[in-house]
Amino acid sequence: MDWYHLKENLYKVGGSLKRFKAAETLLWQGHVETTQALFHNCRSKQVNNFITYLEKHRSRIVNYDYYQTEQLCSIG
């Protein structure tokens, strides 16, 4: 999955900047379940949409850090 589309959907969630940065770091490393756990207590429509988005694309979310470090392919 394209990193920029993933971030675009994360930005739609809004809320705590601290949680947003933590989610971005976790997703950069491919940690989908841990990212979902960050939003466990949030019940907004935007959060629900994002969790659904993560579930739908789970198999396509990779460890972007590894791919970029190893120069295996573009993250965009």
Q: Token pair for residue 40?
A: 């466990």
Tell me if 18 is assigned to some domain. yes
Tell me if 28 is assigned to some domain. yes
Q: How many distinct structural domains can be found in the chain?
A: 1
Tell me if 76 is assigned to some domain. no
Measured at the alpha carbon of residue 42, what is the angle toward residues 56 and 4, in degrees to the nearest 5?
45
Domain extent, residue 29, equals 3-69
pLDDT at residue 27 in the model: 96
Tell me if 61 is assigned to some domain. yes
pLDDT single digits (tens) 4-41: 999 999 999 988 899 999 999 999 999 999 999 999 88
Enter the pTM of the model: 0.86
Tell me if 54 is assigned to some domain. yes
75 pLDDT band, cuts 50/70/90, is low
CB 42 within 8 A of CB 12: no
Torsion sign across C-alpha atoms 60, 3, 37, 45: negative
CB 8 within 8 A of CB 50: no
